[in-house]
Amino acid sequence: DQRQELRWGIREQMLCKPELPSRPQHLYVPNAYTVPTEKKRAALRWEVRWDLAKGLLPRKH
């Protein structure tokens, strides 16, 4: 049938197609983003440690 012939024709064209030049490999760049809640938590933790080192009761937030 005509459709089958067309499909085979296209398949043969695709097999004969020259190989496309490969794209350069993507360099891995580490993500330095810190979630905002972690920053706040670290700051709060430091404040508590600082107050305990001075013998003060940690402030209520």
**pLDDT tens-digit series, residues 4-59:** 999 999 999 888 867 777 777 888 899 888 787 877 888 888 988 999 999 988 66
Q: How many C-beta atoms lie closer than 10 Å to residue 40's C-beta?
A: 11
- pTM of structure: 0.34
- Of the two residues 61 and 48, the one the predictor is more confident about is 48
Q: Within 13 Å of residue 13, how many CA atoms lie on the same side as its CB?
A: 6
Residue 61 has what pLDDT? 59
Is the pLDDT at 3 greater than 90? The verdict is yes
Is the pLDDT at 60 greater than 70? The verdict is no
∠ CA 46-52-57, nearest 5°, is: 110
